[in-house]
Structure 1
């Protein structure tokens, strides 16, 4: 099965009375879609109206539009997932960590404490493992004290069939024996994902002007780029973000057409590279939709994560409280080398 057929057929909501998954900071539902495709029921919580509307339009689960707090009422669920925002750990900030009111992690930790799920996981940027490792330690210590074995791993979506290099840390809390999903051998290129779309120039195309080409050239020279940062169809795309999809910046994603013209990435192309199925419809303005794509967890990546969560729930092997303590100290940090 080729890539396009796979995302269009495998990534379909297939809930069947399976365990409920609560998804905090759910965005447009990329993480939840992967879980629904594995048979879970989902309930998302998200503050952005367009993202909630997109979630409801495409998934079977409900999405509650709400500004989450540590006291937001949540349904009981054996699985808790999410992608908490984490602005406070910027080096230039005051680095208050969990005491910063802008931080989404106290909300996630509070949800774990109140729901006591069998297993939980969150996804976040790779920077938490490096210059902001102090903050990750603070978060995991708080969660570990709630009686969970904590495991951390840096994963790249490209290793799970997504045609995009997108490194993210996945942090999992459980009380038994958990294994991260196995990496796939075959990588999917941007060309395989986009097919003929990459050679077309539909009416909605936004072409780079000569002044934009000049600006991009200066940006790439200043950034010491060895080759232009156009989309290279023979390899996986670089990471998609709100900034390089919706903004006219020097590192914007763009396609170079056979006639030499360059245009910005179209919404459907961005969605393909993020592994959203073609049937998935986004709600909102063009900018809003591109931001939803850039913020999302790739559904195909989420599908593999959901598979190992399902396997964990089906297993009856659980650790005693004393075994959890011995397994939790020191923190089980797993990085690729």
Structure 2
């Protein structure tokens, strides 16, 4: 299945899509450091990466005509800064907003389907009208905005079109931890399937759960035994205590897999030894709102950091209560990158890339879901 990956970053979503069976015919990313990371690993022939046609490219310069009708999927994560909680929240008025380019890719490449992701805030009250416009435009990408036409006027015109839509589109907010990533990371996913396939993309269901993790930790104790630790009688958080009390009333374990914790993710790495990006980074400290990630839950969402060193979300709380920053190797595991996927840049720059990355576990789950829906439409 040929695909094109836009806004590829250091390769989290691209790797997930590769693992899901897609072969990228085009990969575009404008950030030079992220491109250098992907190329560094491509040239080292990492599994699922060796074929990547990664290049530094502004998506606005892409000529889609050679790929028109040749792609199963276009995927990518348009820059989230215009919609993020920590930014200026200028949305479509921000010059970094590339959603119009995502729509242009669908209009000009005419793939069987698409997968785009962005921050949860895109689905919040402030930007819901813009998300509505994105969905409406992806349903009818050929109805391009006119010169000087604003988003609201274009949205109104799209709503007046009576001809059949070109793509069936669905969107949902997901937690990456619910799909096997050891990281609490909420994202908006937008799926699309060409109308000619006569299939709705639908919404993918979680495969992992917090309840199953609590069951394994405090009902059976299997989690602690697996890690060679003494079983712990009760969780520290009141909300978890209430959930455990409810779980004790059940006759069987919750279905599905348990959330993957930080302890699960970094098992076998040991303390930082300086090899393969597993290098100790000094300076971690707790301050209000930045208290680090407990070992026995999925990590808090890694943050990219606007001014160099990211905040306290990028550190772990050790068993003795002390904190230290995640090494690059540990953070890469939280993003689902293999241990031979190396970062040639500095810790702060590489952590910025990892903080921006879509967890590969989520990318693979979404890629497999979309692949299955497209296959159902073709059959």
TM-score, normalised via structure 1 length: 0.75
- Per the alignment, residue 265 of structure 2 pairs with 193
Given the superposition, is the C-alpha separation of residues 32 and 93 from structure 1 closer, same or farther in structure 2, using an over 3 Å criterion? closer
- Cα contact 2:139–2:167 (8 A) shared by 1: yes
- Per the alignment, residue 37 of structure 2 pairs with 54
- Per the alignment, residue 161 of structure 1 pairs with 180
Please, which runs of 5 or more residues in structure 1 have no aligned partner?
Answer: 1-18, 221-227, 319-337
Per-residue CA shift, 1:209-248, capped at 9, x if unaligned? xxx74xx34x24xxxxxxx723211111111121299625
Please, which runs of 5 or more residues in structure 2 have no aligned partner?
Answer: 43-48, 142-165, 208-255
1:317-328 equivalent positions in 2, closer than 5 A: none
Q: Tell me the CA shift for residue 309 of structure 1.
A: 2.0
Per-residue CA shift, 1:35-85, capped at 9, x if unaligned? 11122111210012232232232412211211221x522351231101011
Given the superposition, is the C-alpha separation of residues 79 and 111 from structure 1 closer, same or farther in structure 2, using an over 3 Å criterion? same
- Per the alignment, residue 295 of structure 1 pairs with 356
Farther off after superposition, 49-58 or 199-208: 199-208
- Cα contact 1:200–1:257 (8 A) shared by 2: no
Q: Tell me the CA shift for residue 34 of structure 1.
A: 1.2
Distance (Å, rounded) in 2 between the aligned partners of 1:285 and 1:153? 35
TM-score, normalised via structure 2 length: 0.68
Distance (Å, rounded) in 1 between the aligned partners of 2:341 and 2:80? 28
Task: Give the CA RMSD over aligned residues.
Answer: 2.7
Distance (Å, rounded) in 2 between the aligned partners of 1:237 and 1:90? 19
- Per the alignment, residue 314 of structure 1 pairs with 375
Structure with larger Rg: 2
- Per the alignment, residue 206 of structure 1 pairs with 281
- Per the alignment, residue 7 of structure 2 pairs with 25
- Per the alignment, residue 324 of structure 2 pairs with 263
Higher relative contact order structure (alpha carbons within 8 Å, sequence separation ≥ 6): 1
Given the superposition, is the C-alpha separation of residues 245 and 168 from structure 1 closer, same or farther in structure 2, using an over 3 Å criterion? farther
- Per the alignment, residue 345 of structure 2 pairs with 284
- Per the alignment, residue 68 of structure 1 pairs with 59
Q: Tell me the CA shift for residue 123 of structure 1.
A: 0.3
Distance (Å, rounded) in 1 between the aligned partners of 2:374 and 2:318? 48
Given the superposition, is the C-alpha separation of residues 87 and 257 from structure 1 closer, same or farther in structure 2, using an over 3 Å criterion? closer
1:36-115 equivalent positions in 2, closer than 5 A: 36-42=18-24, 43-56=26-39, 57-58=41-42, 59=49, 60-69=51-60, 71-74=61-64, 75-76=66-67, 77-89=71-83, 95=90, 97=92, 100-115=94-109
Farther off after superposition, 229-238 or 80-89: 80-89
- Cα contact 1:245–1:253 (8 A) shared by 2: no
Given the superposition, is the C-alpha separation of residues 230 and 245 from structure 1 closer, same or farther in structure 2, using an over 3 Å criterion? farther
Q: Secondary structure at the match of 1:240?
A: coil
Distance (Å, rounded) in 2 between the aligned partners of 1:260 and 1:133? 40
Distance (Å, rounded) in 2 between the aligned partners of 1:168 and 1:300? 13
Q: Secondary structure at the match of 1:114?
A: helix
Q: Tell me the CA shift for residue 107 of structure 1.
A: 0.9
Distance (Å, rounded) in 2 between the aligned partners of 1:39 and 1:94? 36
Distance (Å, rounded) in 2 between the aligned partners of 1:72 and 1:135? 24
Distance (Å, rounded) in 1 between the aligned partners of 2:178 and 2:343? 26
Q: Tell me the CA shift for residue 181 of structure 1.
A: 3.3
Number of matched pairs: 283
